[in-house]
Amino acid sequence: MTDFRCHTACGRAYGRAYGMRMALASVGLALAATLAQAAEASAWSEFETRCLAPMEDFAAPVIGELAMTGETRKDGRHIFGFETESGLLSVERDPASGDALSCSLSQRGGISLPEADGFAGDFTFWAGQVLEAGRYVGQPSPTNEKDAILLRSSEWREPVLEVLLAKGPGDAAWTAIVRETDLEA
């Protein structure tokens, strides 16, 4: 006669091990999602910290510890590039005064769609808050594309700032730009 006690006990042990593997797989998926969200948040946080907040306060973009990866001179403008954790940070400076005219963060090409959508979602959330508070006013898209959001600062800041979120051509990556205009409030 066959002893079923071993088979039953082994089956329970296997069942517990299977359940543990499934639980670990679930935790792994949750951790991956959390890390993706952290990466998404970091792109917006990096843009807000390095570009947007300083330029709103009439200060230079925060680039101190970043290594410059390139410099371009075009139409009398000087544009400096810096590699960051989230992508390429570009700062345009006035050649005469050295003041920052614009600052942008472009996500790297080939990023995942959730990562790209996280950056755009965080920008859109911020835009909703500042529009509701009256700090910025929505503008028509400069490219007439649905994948762009353009805001201009209202009367609280002069000269007026423009903040733009635009999708890269043929890619999931987004670029956020803040630039000082020659417009008066």
Contact 114, 129 (CB under 8 A): no
pLDDT at 147: 76
The CA distance from 67 to 53, in Å, is: 21
pLDDT at 152: 94
Give the contacts of 57 (CB within 8 A, at least 6 positions apart): none
Task: List, for the chain, all residue ranges whose pLDDT scores fall below the cut of 50.
Answer: 1-41
pLDDT at 31: 31
The domain spans of the chain are: 39-180
Question: How wide is the angle at C-alpha 75 spanned by C-alphas 164 and 102, nearest 5°?
Answer: 30
Give the pTM. Answer: 0.73
The DSSP bridge partners found for residue 179 are 102, 162
